Structure 1
Amino acid sequence: MSKRQLKKYLNELPKDALQEQLVDLYERFPVVKEYYDFIFNPKEDKLVQEAKTKISNEYFPVKRRKPKARRSVAQKFIKHFLKLGVEAPLIAEVMLFNLEVAQVFSRERNVPDAFYKSMLNSFNEVVQFVAYNNLLSEYKERIVQIYQETQDQNWPLKEGFSHALDAVD
C-alpha cells in the first residue's frame, strides 16, 4: 500500500474506527507503544543513562567475567535514538561516551585490529554527526581529546583518525 492510498483510506474512516486501529497497533506492536510512550513522556535523560550503562557493561561487565566489547551495542542505541527523535546533543553524548569507554578498555587490554577499525568508524560517525547538527562548538574539545588519546595509545589507522579530525577544523 502506498502512502497516498493509506492517507485516502484513513480519511474515509470514521473517527471511532481510526481510534480503534491506533489502540490496536499500540497494543500489538511494541515499537508503536514505545514510540507513543516516548512522544508523550520523553524521559530522554533516563534513556541516555540506560544506554551508557549498557555500553559500559559491554566493556567492563558487572555480572560476567569476560567483556564482549561490541560496537554494535552502542550502534543499536544510536540508531534507536535517531528513530525516536532524541535530541542531537544527547545522541552525540552517547556516541562520544562509547569512544571514551572503548579507549579506557583498550588502554587496559590487548584488543584485535578489528576493534580499531570499528572505533575509527565510530569516530568518523560522531565527527560527521556533530558537524551536521552544528554542535561543533559544544563537542570539539572532547573530539580532540579522543583523537589525542588514539595518538597517545598509538592506535593503528592513525591517518584515518587524522582525516576525520580535519573535518572538525
Structure 2
Amino acid sequence: MSKRALKSYLSELGKSELQEQIIELYDKFPAVKTYYDFAFNPKEDKLVQEAKTKISNEYFPLKRKRPKARRSVAQKYIKHFIKLGVDPYLVADVMLYNLEIAQAFASERNVPDAFYKSMLNSFVEMTTFISQNNLLSEYKERLLKIYDRTQSDNWLYMEDFSRALDILD
C-alpha cells in the first residue's frame, strides 16, 4: 500500500475506528509498542546507560569468562536509537563509548585483524554522524583521544583512521 493510499484510507476512518486500529497495532507489533513507549516516556538517559552496560559486558563480561567483543551489539543499539529519534548528542556519546571500551579491550588482549577493520568502520560512522549533527565542538576532545590512541597503539589501518578525520573538515 502506498503512503497516499494509506492517507486516503485513514481519512475515511472515524476517530474511534482509528483509535482501535492503533491499539491493535500496539498489541500486535513490538516495534509499535516500543515507539509509543519511547514517544510518551523517553527516558533517554536510562536507555543510554543500558546500552553502555551491554556494550561494556561484550568486552569485559561480569558473568562469563570469555568476552565476545561483538561490534554488532553496539551497532544494534545505535541504529535503534537513531530510529527512535534519541537526541543525537546521546547517540554520539554511545558511539564514542563503544570505541573507547573497544580500545581498552584491545590494549589488554591480542585481537584479530578483523577487529581493527570493524573498529575502523565504527570510527568512520561516528565521525560522519558527529559531522552531520554538528556535534564536533562537544565531542572533539574525546574523538581526538580515540584517534591518538589508534596511532600510539599502532592499530592497523592507521591511514584510514586519519582519512576518517577528514570528514570533520
TM-score class, shorter-chain normalisation, is over 0.9
Gaps of 5+ in 2: none
Q: Normalized against structure 1, the TM-score is what?
A: 0.98
Paired residues, what number?
A: 169
**Mapped partners of 1:134, 1:14: distance in 2:** 43
CA RMSD in angstroms, aligned pairs only: 0.7
Gaps of 5+ in 1: none
**Mapped partners of 1:23, 1:37: distance in 2:** 13
Name 1:99's counterpart in structure 2. 99
**Mapped partners of 1:18, 1:132: distance in 2:** 37
Name 2:32's counterpart in structure 1. 32
**Mapped partners of 1:34, 1:156: distance in 2:** 39
Q: Normalized against structure 2, the TM-score is what?
A: 0.98
- 1:168 deviates by 2.7
**Mapped partners of 1:19, 1:165: distance in 2:** 48
Name 2:78's counterpart in structure 1. 78
Query: After the TM superposition, which segments of 4 or more aligned residues of structure 1 sit over 2 Å from their partners?
Result: 166-169
Name 1:156's counterpart in structure 2. 156
- The aligned runs of 1:104-143 (5 Å cut-off) are 104-143=104-143
Name 1:167's counterpart in structure 2. 167
- 1:111 deviates by 0.2
**Mapped partners of 1:10, 1:70: distance in 2:** 43
User: What percentage of residue pairs aligned between the two structures are identical?
Assistant: 70
Amino acid at match of 1:11: S
- 1:14 deviates by 1.2
